[in-house]
Structure formats: C-alpha cells, structure tokens
Amino acid sequence: MVFLQLAILSHCLADFIFQSNDIVQLRKSSNLKKCLKGNIIHAIIVFSILFTFLIVGYKFETTLAYSLLIGLFHFAIDLIKNLLSLKIKSIYDRPICHQKTSFLYIILSPLYRWINSLIFIIDQILHVAVIAFIWGQTSIQSSENIINCIYLNKNSTIDILNYLIIYLYVCFGGRFFINVVISELYLQPYKNKAMNVQIIYPLEKTSASDYIGIFERFIIITLVINGAYQAIAFIFTAKSIARFRELEEKYFAQYYLVGTLFSTSLGILGGIFLKYIINK
C-alpha cells in the first residue's frame, strides 16, 4: 500500500508542483517537435521523482522497472491528450461553414464549452488508474536499506501519505482544475455607467489569487477534518469583504462566485474524503 501511495504522491508532485509554465506551453504547442520536447521533459520529471521516492525503501530492479513503465505511460497519455486537444481546437477554429460538416464537431459540440475540464478529469483518472494497475501487476520487493526504518510504523506512514496526497490534489490540483473551468466561462464586457467605459475581466488569474485559493482550500480541508464546518463561513465572508467594491460589478461577481464556490466545494469534498479514509 505504501508503494502505491508513494507512486500517487510522486504523480501529484510531478503534475502540479514541478511542472513549470514553460513546460506547459511546450506541451500545448501546435509544433510537433515542441510538443514532443515538452512531454519528454515532463515524463523525465515524472520518472525522476517516482524513482527517488521508491528507491528509499524498495529494490533497485523493482523501482527502475516500475518507474520506467509509469514514465512511458505518462508520456503516452499526455501526448495523446495534447494532440487531441489541438485537434478539437483546430476543428472549432475553422469557419462555421466547415465546422458543421465535421463529424467530430457534431459529436462534441454539446460538450465543447467544457471539453478542457473533461479532458483534465479523464487525464487524471487515467494516470491514477495506470499507476494502480501496474502496481497490482508488480512483484514488490523491499530493500534492506537502513532508511527502510521509516516504514516500520506502517499505519502512521499510510495516514501521513494519505494526508499529503489529498492536500496536494485538492490544494494544487484544484488550482489547475479551477483555472481550466474559469477559462471556459464566457465573460461579457461590463459597462461602467459612471465612466461610460467597458471593462472585460481577464480570464487569467494572477499568481496571488492562485496562492490565496491554495491556502483557502488548505484551511477548509483542515476545518472539515476537525468538524469545524461553521468556520468555513468566515473564510467566505472574509473573501467577500476584501472584494466588496468589485462585487458590485455584475460580471466580476459571477466570475468570483464561480471560482470561490468551486474552491470551497473541492476543499469540503477533499476534507470529507480524507476524514473517511483515515477513520476507515
């Protein structure tokens, strides 16, 4: 079980912490060479983190074989995802007269607005499923390394890893998911009557708002684990007071509420799930 948890934890770190914007842009590039380069770099990071985690307590042969397989499958899944995203985007960037004749356009048109969110979710499910499946088919051999003593109290180790995985997935993975959802909302320009100007709120969030969201979800998970659900309302209230003037503007209010409600929901669900697995 610890082996599987370490593999999932390394996946969280590789996908959500150690993936820079430069790598993301390379992977999203329509240039095949750049796309391949970005995915290869990311796969190497996945392999390196996983190998580093597993070599501490497991035999070299087991660690190397498992890490290589996960790195290769991660590369394949991500490459297919990136190419599929580019294909779908190219279809919807065509003139309308050409779009309607496309089979993919007809099939995907009801889902297109949320296609990136769906791809993100399916991508994460596939990664975790592959990690679990290969783990189930692998003969796990522990090493005699002295560092293996950290696994002596397995119950404590399992609980700590569960905490790390859920916090990372919800706090940092949630950041990516919410950004994807927000980017797919169609914001209309807001006309300021006093100044007679149009304001269009940017879809790209600042780093500050990202970190505020991460910290917010961290606090919410902690409150849920401790059963302090009432305190969650104070977080929502504090954010609303800080944004009070901007909330008077209709479209910003919609943008703000969607992001906050998604973030709060992820934090609550993550806390409930973590509480369930540690008390199981």
Question: Could you state, in order of their start, the residue ranges of all structural domains in the chain?
Answer: 2-149, 190-279
Amino acid letter, residue 237: T
- Compute the half-sphere exposure of residue 273: CA atoms within 13 Å on the CB side of its CA: 13
Is residue 233 within 8 A of residue 279, CB to CB? The reply is: no
Q: What is the pLDDT of residues 84-102, one digit of tens each?
A: 888 777 766 655 555 455 5
Which H/E stretch holds residue 111? none
pLDDT value, residue 42: 95
Q: Which two tokens stand for residue 236?
A: 């929502």
Amino acid letter, residue 276: Y
pLDDT value, residue 206: 52
- DSSP assignment string, 35-84: HHHHHHHHHHHHHHHHHHHHHTTB-HHHHHHHHHHHHHHHHHHHHHHHHH
Whole-prediction pTM = 0.81
pLDDT value, residue 126: 96
pLDDT value, residue 198: 46
pLDDT value, residue 192: 44
What sign results for the dihedral spanned by CA atoms 229, 231, 237, 238? negative
Give φ, ψ of 230 to 5 degrees: -60, -30
Q: Hey, is 199 helix, strand or coil?
A: strand
Q: What is the mean pLDDT of each run of 10 residues along the chain (280 residues)?
A: 91 92 88 92 96 89 93 95 82 55 58 77 94 88 57 74 94 88 60 44 58 90 91 79 67 76 92 89
DSSP state, 202? -
Is residue 162 within 8 A of residue 277, CB to CB? The reply is: yes
pLDDT value, residue 169: 94
Query: Which residues are 199's β-sheet partners?
Result: 190
How far is Cα 175 from Cα 67, in angstroms, rounded to an integer?
A: 26
> Using alpha carbons only, how large is the chain's radius of gyration in Å?
22
CA distances for 89 relative to 79, 104, 109, 164, 189, angstroms: 15, 11, 12, 35, 24
